[in-house]
Structure 1
Amino acid sequence: MSATSAAAAPIARPHRSAWYRKLYIWVLVGIAAGIGVGAAWPGTGANLQPLGSTFVSMITMVVTPIIFVTIVGGIAGVDDLRKVGRIGVKSLIYFEGMTTLALVLGLVAIDVFHPGSSIHANPATLKLTGTAAQYASAGKAQGFWSILTEIVPSSAFGAFASGNDLQVVFFSILFGVAIKLVGAPAAGIAAGVDKFGKVMFAILRIIMYAAPVGAFGAMAFTVGKYGVHTLTSLGSLIGLTYGASAVFVVVGLGAVCAVFRLNILALLRYIKDELVIILGTSSSETVLPQLMRKVERAGVPEDVVGLTIPTGYSFNLDGTCIYLTLAALFVAQATGVHLSLAQQLGILAILLLTSKGAAGVTGSGFIVLAATLASVGSIPVAGIMLIFGIDRFMSTCRALTNACGNVVGSFAVAAWEGVLDRDKAVRVLGGHDDFDREQPESVGQPALETV
């Protein structure tokens, strides 16, 4: 080919699927329909909860096996076990730094805007009832050693049966390290785990077809049960939570991305499908496997992804940390409890521990909040009833921020370790890399782009 003809050749463009084949479009349709049904027919909307909860259960069903195969496969593929240790230590340092930043941001935001000062609630009239009472009881039971006891499962199979991601991570790391120590005799086990992982991702791809229905049911239930009016009754706290979280993502996580020369907005566009699913289901766990696969495709090695993202779902909950400081001080303001700066910093220090003490537990946000208020002593634990009604709306914000924080964390640890393929990351995040979607031949080409 001549130089002239080569220069005139058109630039190859990545394949773009039709809009109606994109999963997130149908999830948005499901969300809109759910809001409409919940607002128009609240009783019907509240009764649609099984659609959302069943979808979340189906995702949860495959999350722990996928965490296992990803971590084991990543460790088995590492030449030097010391690298696994370095990645783990760097991950924990990064997680602690970012969650501290999130806690401080929440503290500053609540002190600047004082959304609870106009409530004037009487602590004597607040009574813990129903689910809130159960969460508060669990929170009071949280002790200093809770985080350690949560990590170690009573049995290997029990970790998978309970769906406790943190315990599965612990067992998976031990299993992967053991495969490396055994060496050649365990090569067949490592290969079997890899094949099992391909099957689990194929199952996930099938389950994701139900995402629009799950989002419809979850949103219809939320609006039907709690009502749109709930958004306005404590709108200042909800708005502050979303505003502080947006600042954290765009400015805080954006600064982290800028350090290794990536654009946070491009990264958010890249994971928009997963963010829309979180918006509909109010759970970041529904997209954990997809995020792991996407981050790996964008230039982060499998061993880094396998250690950072599952572990981050327990230790790097940035959105939850923002919520906890906002909620704790909101309850104090609403009940007329004055806290000095030293007392507020004491609450922040307590949250540095308790925010990681209820990982993998249903209602963990409220459990940790109750544990924190019980530890402080001066703020009535019953005050959580003031925000119990709007927690469902704020849980969506927590989940969105947590997911963004863990994705950025995986890129950051890979860059710190010196193994991030930055050129590939720039291409993929910019939409200029038509990467292989690794569709199993037995499954065939799906009707929707699910992963």
Structure 2
Amino acid sequence: MQPSIPTADDAAHRAHKPWYAQLYLQVLAAILLGVLLGHFYPQTGEAMKPIGDGFIKLVKMIIAPVIFLTIVTGIAGMRDLGSVGRVAGKAFAYFLFFSTLALFVGMAVANVVRPGSGLNIDPATLDAGKVADYASKAHETTLTGFLLGVIPDTFLGALTAGNILQTLFVAILFGIGLALIGDRGERLLGALEDVSLAVFKVVAILMRAAPVGAFGAMAFTIGKYGVGTLANLAALVATFYATSLLFVLVVLGIAARLAGFSILRLIAYLKAELLLVLGTSSSESALPSLIEKMEHAGCPKSIVGLVVPTGYSFNLDGTNIYMTLASLFIAQACNVHLSFGEQLLLLGVAMLSSKGAAGVTGAGFITLAATLSIVPSVPVAGMALILGVDRFMSECRSLTNFIGNAVATVVVSRWEGRLDVGQLHAALSGKAPQPRTD
């Protein structure tokens, strides 16, 4: 869907919009209220879980139609089918490079900071039962099973199962098929474009409930786990947040600068979505908005439709930093010495297991279990050490993954020579009207 042309009424609407009606401020206020409720009234905060879960379910309900319509209309309207494979190839090259780099960054920081040193934990004293469920899910998640899982049981099943990669697979096939029938497909293409307008209007309606969803999710997190749990493993949490921030500002910042834009301006442009991801601890909650905003920032619909959904499964920078950092933290805490070669083996296993767990709920912790189960020198039971603070690290994983996918979309669009640079800078500088969410 091409961004709608702003009218004078739109401009006037935004100019006179009071500060308290701004979505990102509403979400921020809701997060703060959720923290206060969860801290002072833990039981009440924990009871807010259905509110957060309900909002995430609402967003997930619309994700499949958004992806399907964006990709089908993008590919069918492009007509040059050779460019589809070229865009996919460039996207996967980007994903592979930066995902691998994230693993190395996590490994390097863990060796320098050594957040687990000095804990002297005896693995025999750990309660392996606490992580047994994650370990069993990790064993069920194999690379072969993942590849077969991309193929849906039925064509329509891809739109109802809630699997992003299945939706992506079917949408690409249908988009190519529609492009191949030429002029006879024009009427259907026009109809799908009209449907996409309605679907994105539904997204705008759902986003009005974002503050409520963020409030419920944050109240539950603080009420159930408590801010105090952070103190026990403050070194690991602080190291992970600092490493992720370093990766975003330096590594992704350099990539953004080479592509001709500022990472800080991009973060400011996506502030409402980032606060929503922070509040719900789920990057999927902001996926439809990310697709719309990337199109609004001058990225072609066909590239946005391919890169964003695929990146949600394959471009997991935050998850990869977490995997090597958490693995080495557990090894250090249990006084398990890993040679450089063993650490490289751990990194290689993490690269494969992260693809096998793509699209699985709680993929970060499950992927960690899959990695440790293959590298026997690090006890899987050691995951019990970080189980209490994993929820807080999940928020940082989601934020880093989200920013990484936004950067990837702009970079791949630039590589293809199809980025509207003027529109990008206008959007990032705030001179172009934002997509309406009301």
Match of 1:174 in 2: 173
Q: Deviations over 1:4-37 (max 9, x none)?
A: xxxxxxxx99954321110111111111111111
SS in 1 for 2:386: helix
Q: What percentage of aligned pairs have identical amino acids?
A: 47
Q: How many residues align?
A: 427
Match of 1:403 in 2: 402
> How far off its partner does 1:211 sit?
1.0
CA RMSD of aligned residues (A): 1.7
SS in 2 for 1:389: helix
Match of 2:288 in 1: 289
Cα distance in structure 2, aligned partners of 1:146 and 1:98: 25
> How far off its partner does 1:261 sit?
1.5
> How far off its partner does 1:65 sit?
1.2
Cα distance in structure 1, aligned partners of 2:147 and 2:328: 27
> How far off its partner does 1:223 sit?
0.6
SS in 2 for 1:355: helix
Cα distance in structure 1, aligned partners of 2:60 and 2:392: 21
Q: Deviations over 1:191-216 (max 9, x none)?
A: 23222222221111111111111111
8 Å CA contact retained: 2:38, 2:218: yes
8 Å CA contact retained: 2:110, 2:325: yes
Match of 1:252 in 2: 251
8 Å CA contact retained: 2:248, 2:403: yes
SS in 1 for 2:84: helix
Equivalence map 1:62-211=2 (5 Å): 62-129=62-129, 132-211=131-210
Cα distance in structure 2, aligned partners of 1:119 and 1:162: 44
Cα distance in structure 2, aligned partners of 1:180 and 1:135: 43
Cα distance in structure 2, aligned partners of 1:129 and 1:74: 48
Cα distance in structure 2, aligned partners of 1:237 and 1:396: 14
Q: Deviations over 1:141-186 (max 9, x none)?
A: 2334233123222222333332111111111111111111222333
> How far off its partner does 1:327 sit?
1.1
Cα distance in structure 2, aligned partners of 1:59 and 1:330: 35
Match of 1:30 in 2: 30
Runs of 4+ in structure 1 displaced over 4 angstroms? 12-15
Cα distance in structure 1, aligned partners of 2:158 and 2:53: 21
| Amino acid across the alignment from 1:106 | G
Q: Deviations over 1:282-315 (max 9, x none)?
A: 1110111111111111111111101101110011
> How far off its partner does 1:363 sit?
1.4
Unaligned stretches of 5+ residues in structure 1: 1-11, 440-448
Match of 1:380 in 2: 379
> How far off its partner does 1:421 sit?
1.2
Structure-2 change in CA distance of 1:167 and 1:260 (3 Å) = same
Q: Deviations over 1:24-67 (max 9, x none)?
A: 11111111111111110111111111111111110111011111
SS in 2 for 1:162: coil
| Amino acid across the alignment from 2:296 | R
Cα distance in structure 2, aligned partners of 1:119 and 1:65: 49
Cα distance in structure 1, aligned partners of 2:114 and 2:76: 51
Q: Deviations over 1:50-96 (max 9, x none)?
A: 11111111011101111111111110111210011100000000010
Match of 2:318 in 1: 319
| Amino acid across the alignment from 1:423 | G
Cα distance in structure 1, aligned partners of 2:408 and 2:239: 24
Unaligned stretches of 5+ residues in structure 2: 1-10
**Is 1:426 aligned to residue 425 of structure 2?**
yes
SS in 2 for 1:240: helix
8 Å CA contact retained: 2:27, 2:275: yes
Cα distance in structure 1, aligned partners of 2:162 and 2:96: 24
Residues 15-24 or 112-121, more deviating: 15-24
**Is 1:345 aligned to residue 344 of structure 2?**
yes
Cα distance in structure 2, aligned partners of 1:51 and 1:45: 11
Match of 1:303 in 2: 302
* TM-score, structure 1 as length reference: 0.91
> How far off its partner does 1:266 sit?
0.8
> How far off its partner does 1:133 sit?
2.1
Cα distance in structure 2, aligned partners of 1:118 and 1:209: 48
8 Å CA contact retained: 1:231, 1:390: yes
Residues 328-337 or 144-153, more deviating: 144-153
